[in-house]
Amino acid sequence: MQSTPTATLASQYLRRPILGFTSFSRLTPLPVRTMSARFASDQPSGLSNHIKNVAIVGATGRIGTHILRALLATNLHKITALTRPSSAPLPANVTRKEIDYAVPSSLVSALTGQDFLIISLSATAPRDAQTKLIAAAAEAGVKWIMPSEYGTDIAARPDVGEDILLGPAALAARKQIVDAGMSFVGLACGPWYEYSLSEGSRSFGFELKERRVTFYDRGETRITTSSWPLCGEAVAKLLSLPVLPEGAADERPTLSRWRNQSLRIGSFFISQREMFDSVLRVTGTKEEDWEAQYEDVGERYERAMKGVREGNMALFGVMLYARVMRGDGASDLEEGKANAVLGLGEERLDKMTRVAVEMVKHKQ
């Protein structure tokens, strides 16, 4: 799971009894709450069947930047970015509303009139930021929320969510949304490909600059990964759909199709070995130019988790990636993937690998 205050959240829950939260991770998927109208034709005259006003928290962040860009490209939405005073500049056609998490009324005011709230929190966000945003959204009359849980399908694999320490809080956020009478759509995208490939040995195991790679087990476990642009495109396509079908005969995809569920997407279903082949092509190197080592992924996870529980949060990423890359389908999102339904474009692996290589070159 990504784009959440990961290490901060994990540290927070390590200081509390983990068992106090496991009741959420044992829940079955939340029931789909029936809307007042099943079809658009049943709605009162004049009520729009499309999402118009979209609020984004984290619009200048890693994933938020790409979501914002894709939404603006549709020219279908009025975008409002909820920011703190020190936030980065925004495009001229985006409304900025400054918020203070210590002042709930500022959140309610900023969210009033919004149809859909996208939450993409940074690691520096207050620990209770998402809880406060959800409460404010309910008070402001927001109907839909995409919570900050980008990664695995936590309802389908609550065991994985619990193993990476993020699932209980994410499931609690979903429950808070539904209990408040709103609806959510989670984005299940797997690890971000170009980011994870560029982040060194703690993530996909590649140190691109040093030409070193650590393979987990034999490096042959396949996982679903998504690029940042694909994530942005998926959210934009989702929010461009009608909210409800026009009638019983309307079989077009609608936003309500993913009501209180995860939207599964993916750029590549790929193993470390296949990533390595792409890296070799992009860098023009040969396998013998690289230093390779192999590590038991289960042992890697246990060692990193031990360190995290002892307070070494630098090992949090090592723990997270080792768990999702274990060979038990933890990050296999291929079944039910919505790429074709949404009409998402196909991506070229080597192009995104090249992006990762360039990211490493430009790091300080």
Answer yes or no: is 88 within a domain: yes
Residue 169 and residue 285 in one domain? no
Domain boundary among 202, 234, 259: 259
Q: Which percentage of the chain shows pLDDT scores above 90?
A: 81
Residue 301 and residue 344 in one domain? yes
Query: What does the pLDDT look like over 177-226, one tens digit per residue?
Result: 999 999 999 999 999 999 999 999 999 999 999 999 999 999 999 999 99
Secondary structure class of 5 (helix, strand, coil): coil
Residue 151 and residue 205 in one domain? no
39 pLDDT band, cuts 50/70/90, is: confident
Residue 119 and residue 221 in one domain? no
The arithmetic mean of pLDDT across residues 270-298, rounded, is: 98
Q: Which percentage of the chain shows pLDDT scores above 70?
A: 89
Domain boundary among 206, 237, 259: 259
Q: How far is CA 265 from the centre of its chain?
A: 10
Answer yes or no: is 164 within a domain: yes
314 pLDDT band, cuts 50/70/90, is: very high
d(CA 302, CA 311): 14
Question: Which residue(s) pair with 268 in the sheet?
Answer: 225
pLDDT exceeds 50 at position 287: yes
Answer yes or no: is 137 within a domain: yes
Answer yes or no: is 42 within a domain: no
Residue 101 and residue 199 in one domain? no
Answer yes or no: is 43 within a domain: no
Residue 18 and residue 156 in one domain? yes
Domain carrying residue 278 = 193-226+268-361
Q: What does DSSP assign to residue 84?
A: -
What pLDDT, on the 0 to 100 scale, is given for residue 37?
A: 67
DSSP string, 304-333: HHHHHHTT-GGGHHHHHHHHHTSTTTTT--
Query: What does the pLDDT look like over 148-172, one tens digit per residue?
Result: 999 999 999 999 999 999 999 999 9
Token digits for 267?
């750029």
Here the CATH number for the domain that contains residue 329 is 3.90.25
Residue 178 and residue 314 in one domain? no
The dihedrals phi and psi of 108, each to the nearest 5 degrees, come to: -60, -45
Residue 91 and residue 73 in one domain? yes
Answer yes or no: is 30 within a domain: no
What is the rounded radius of gyration, in angstroms, for the C-alpha atoms of the chain?
20
Average pLDDT, the chain: 90
pLDDT exceeds 70 at position 24: no
Here the CATH number for the domain that contains residue 60 is 3.40.50.720
The arithmetic mean of pLDDT across residues 276-290, rounded, is: 99
- Number of independent structural domains in the chain: 2
The arithmetic mean of pLDDT across residues 131-156, rounded, is: 97
Question: Which residue(s) pair with 185 in the sheet?
Answer: 261
What pTM was estimated for this model as a whole? Answer: 0.89
Residue 218 and residue 356 in one domain? yes
Residue 180 and residue 200 in one domain? no
Residue 215 and residue 317 in one domain? yes
The arithmetic mean of pLDDT across residues 228-248, rounded, is: 95
Residue 145 and residue 205 in one domain? no
The arithmetic mean of pLDDT across residues 108-116, rounded, is: 98
Domain boundary among 259, 281, 309: 259
d(CA 352, CA 297): 25
What pLDDT, on the 0 to 100 scale, is given for residue 126?
A: 84
pLDDT exceeds 80 at position 134: yes
Answer yes or no: is 238 within a domain: no
Answer yes or no: is 232 within a domain: no
